[in-house]
Structure 1
């Protein structure tokens, strides 16, 4: 009788333990999406609002002339220097057309464009000399100054409702890309010539000190538009960028960056909209991207240099944005050798016959690197040309893109995504046999119009939850 009593209670104990464990698991499953995007909210909260003294420095008071032809480089510089020296404040560019050379920002300065302000960057390439410490396709070098540049500064902003016009076109900057459609003529110098990109690639491989990587005059590597370099507490708000020579916004080695309400309308070569690189705590919100390349491309260094620098890009939130033309909506790579983690994308609309993909990850075995913990939620896609999600570990425009660094791609999650026309594929994954893509999930996803629903190589099985592609449940 005593033995039966103990057996009965042992059975009840085991049963209650199983029930409790089941409840905990269900609770965990229910809470996972909330917990994931709570991390996104904490990232946003960590990027504190910037404050500036209530002092205004109008560039007109420093000799600026709004006629579109007088060069105002010195007037803008004097206003910024005075603002910085006095402890900070607002440098005001009023309505009008202001021609200028490069603008170098400083700490505690809010460069503010009034409605109707149109900043035109000169087409005189010598104005962007002397060379400065910058980068080109994720490799550091000494090159033409970015059009708007800040180096090792803290607490500064570019705000307002005006426009920055880089004045790049088929006669200025763009032909150096080497493509006929952007104005390049046979026999003219271009970036792929031996003294340009091949030379820079060799310097990367040989770990040549950056101070010795001197390009600029006599070379054909285009400048970036807006580049904060090794800066903290950066705000870009409200302004419009158009006609960029190269990448538009490129915070590199920066922390606590907010890009809010910005419009990028620029269809030149390599006209990525925003490329955070080696950067942490970045919030891109309420922006419109209509670009000649990727709308947003998160990066972390190219090949050997990325591995040497070894600063992953992480804790990046993209929300409430509209992606129109571009190679991809939110992209990671291809230069991601130091790795990318903790990327959150939510409440965005992506739609254009000239938008190739919605979410894209691209690398190869020269880049290597890793991408992990990418969470995409509440996305509406009207039309894309190639795929809703593309993961490619065989990426390479140029030859000889195979090396010894096998990429690692894992934890890629799409939830509450609707797609009206996904083009060639719904999901396109090309992993590596040595290290397949891992833990890709689609939850509450509806995709229409895919010519081929799935093309998957070297990936763990995709986990589908309440997902339909072309009306078929997966």
Structure 2
């Protein structure tokens, strides 16, 4: 068959051009998904089995890698009831086979179970498009290629609503929504299965990636995951941009959870989670996080295990966070180094900073084949924080209980035995605390030697900063103030070596035993210290190994007494110049 095509009017009325195309050549020259959209392909929409056999592109097709694969053309209904898993998967498979392109989720609510993403596929969710996780737990399956081992960083499960394994060049974007219906995966009572029929590690993450490269997730709304929202394992070259993550329907609603990732960048995201808002576990390196807002029951930036280094976190707003915004737990064999936090506002938080170095719990044994952990070169600059006593998390689906160490919290730098964290810097840091601590709480000397959750040491003996086994501590232009009286010291140093405190503005209490208490500490220089409020004693020195403590200038006149020496401390260890 021959087809004559007349030239357009711009060619002149007396000019025409005959182009001969065989039917076969013409059909092979067009995009089948695009053609299906044009012709309606009603015959596909009427096939429940979704046995769609759209013709693949020819090798010489110039549209390879650029085509659009509308999931409705593969049989997806989008009616909020029909299970569209196979249709979505077929669209992704076709896109991948044709060397990539865009899989389009148009307007509609598309119910799905587990979907595998593949290399070179962009999944675009339109503004009125929703991928809705089914509440039928049988529609989810594990990604067997993702190992589950005794390693605590990998044993949380390997089930994803959307997942990819060893895939490259994946993008998920668009203004649409992925809704995990996570509340249906919460058990009504202990030992009772939730409505979805699966629980624990069998629940699906919103997005699960393992050993992927060049991964981008951008602009979408991730709502009510049944587990973590975004979990990325052993992957590189990652961008998370402009995401809105909201999940407060199960206890394990993490926002981002990175495990042993490199070259990952998170920006312009808003996260409201129930558990860790942005966890970095395993060996995470070359990470930037900026221009984000976070709120959660637990921590925001949580570090645990492995080698975390070369990381910057900046320009973030943290609010209503009742589990310590910045929490670092470094056990044997781990190393945290070269990590910077800057320009961060914390409003209504507990904590606000906790770094633990050593054994993780009171039941741990000190014997291990791993070398001691290392925490070194951690800086905090431009931090403003308002610390409060925790209250029920707004919009959470269930109540939370709080430990005494969460109700009374402070900045905690906690190493132990012969292990020291090194070179910890606080500059331009201003923290307001709620007060309410008692003299009995401040009198505690035997603080538990545990570097796990920040509240496991109990109520800290200081309302502002508690530092144990720190070498190279710098406090520059730091202010610690109270909204109500607190009978604990503002700062307690225990085995601190080589510290410089300059421009410290600190509030005391008339009934506290001292404003600052130091024990077996050496090489400390305090300059330009200013004391606010009233106090009966500024500095109490305890222990027999204190030395080279120098106070040079400042105004501590509100204190009735300057120095006291207890528990074997010698007056010669301190020099003073007003």
TM-score scaled by length of structure 2: 0.60
Q: Report the equivalent of 2:474.
A: 463
Q: How does 1:70-219 map to 2 (within 5 A)?
A: 70-129=82-141, 131-134=143-146, 138-140=152-154, 145-169=159-183, 171-172=184-185, 174-175=186-187, 183-185=188-190, 187-188=191-192
Shift of residue 411, structure 1, vs aligned partner: 1.0
Q: Distance in 1 between matches of 2:65 and 2:331?
A: 48
Q: Is the Cα–Cα contact under 8 Å of residues 206 and 225 in structure 2 kept in the other structure?
A: yes
Q: Report the equivalent of 2:9.
A: none
Shift of residue 163, structure 1, vs aligned partner: 1.2
Q: Report the equivalent of 1:360.
A: 327
| 1:139–1:343 Cα change, 3 Å | closer
Q: How does 1:20-419 map to 2 (within 5 A)?
A: 53-129=65-141, 131-134=143-146, 138-140=152-154, 145-169=159-183, 171-172=184-185, 174-175=186-187, 183-185=188-190, 187-188=191-192, 221-267=202-248, 268-300=250-282, 312-333=283-304, 336=305, 338-352=306-320, 354-365=321-332, 368-385=333-350, 387-393=351-357, 396=360, 400=364, 404=368, 405=370, 406-419=372-385
Point out where structure 2 has 5 or more consecutive residues left out of the alignment. 1-63, 390-407, 436-462, 482-504, 507-528, 531-578
Q: Report the equivalent of 2:12.
A: none
Point out where structure 1 has 5 or more consecutive residues left out of the alignment. 1-51, 176-182, 191-215, 301-311
**Deviation digits for residues 199-229 of structure 1, max 9, x if unmatched?**
xxxxxxxxxxxxxxxxx99985433321111
* Between 227-236 and 82-91, the greater mean CA deviation after superposition: 82-91
Size of the aligned set, in residue pairs, is 370
Q: Report the equivalent of 1:421.
A: 387
| 1:431–1:225 Cα change, 3 Å | same
Shift of residue 462, structure 1, vs aligned partner: 2.3
Bigger proportion of residues as strand? 2
Q: Report the equivalent of 2:491.
A: none
**Deviation digits for residues 359-392 of structure 1, max 9, x if unmatched?**
1102444xx411111101111111212x121112
Q: Distance in 2 between matches of 1:320 and 1:345?
A: 9
| 1:329–1:217 Cα change, 3 Å | closer
Q: Is the Cα–Cα contact under 8 Å of residues 133 and 142 in structure 1 kept in the other structure?
A: no
Q: Report the equivalent of 1:36.
A: none
- Please point out which of 415, 425, 428 is paired with 1:431: 415
Q: Secondary structure at the match of 1:467?
A: strand
Q: Distance in 1 between matches of 2:99 and 2:297?
A: 41
Q: Report the equivalent of 2:425.
A: 441
Q: Is the Cα–Cα contact under 8 Å of residues 411 and 440 in structure 1 kept in the other structure?
A: yes
**Deviation digits for residues 254-273 of structure 1, max 9, x if unmatched?**
01000000111001222111
Shift of residue 103, structure 1, vs aligned partner: 1.6
**Deviation digits for residues 264-296 of structure 1, max 9, x if unmatched?**
100122211111111100000000111111110
Bigger proportion of residues as helix? 1
Shift of residue 428, structure 1, vs aligned partner: 1.0
| 1:450–1:142 Cα change, 3 Å | closer
Q: Distance in 1 between matches of 2:326 and 2:69?
A: 42
| Pair member with larger Rg | 2
Q: Distance in 2 between matches of 1:143 and 1:444?
A: 41
**Deviation digits for residues 172-203 of structure 1, max 9, x if unmatched?**
2x33xxxxxxx333x4479xxxxxxxxxxxxx
Higher relative contact order (CA 8 A, sep 6+): 1
Q: Secondary structure at the match of 1:433?
A: coil
Q: Secondary structure at the match of 1:269?
A: coil
* Between 454-463 and 268-277, the greater mean CA deviation after superposition: 454-463
Q: Is the Cα–Cα contact under 8 Å of residues 131 and 142 in structure 1 kept in the other structure?
A: no
| 1:426–1:130 Cα change, 3 Å | closer
| 1:324–1:276 Cα change, 3 Å | same
Q: Distance in 1 between matches of 2:200 and 2:476?
A: 53
Q: Report the equivalent of 1:208.
A: none
Q: Secondary structure at the match of 1:184?
A: coil
CA RMSD of aligned residues (A): 2.6
Q: Distance in 2 between matches of 1:139 and 1:426?
A: 28
Q: Secondary structure at the match of 1:275?
A: strand
Q: Distance in 2 between matches of 1:403 and 1:79?
A: 54
Shift of residue 469, structure 1, vs aligned partner: 1.3
| 1:350–1:219 Cα change, 3 Å | closer
| 1:130–1:341 Cα change, 3 Å | closer
| 1:444–1:139 Cα change, 3 Å | closer
Q: Secondary structure at the match of 1:87?
A: coil
Shift of residue 96, structure 1, vs aligned partner: 1.3
Q: Distance in 1 between matches of 2:279 and 2:312?
A: 13
Q: Distance in 2 between matches of 1:151 and 1:144?
A: 11
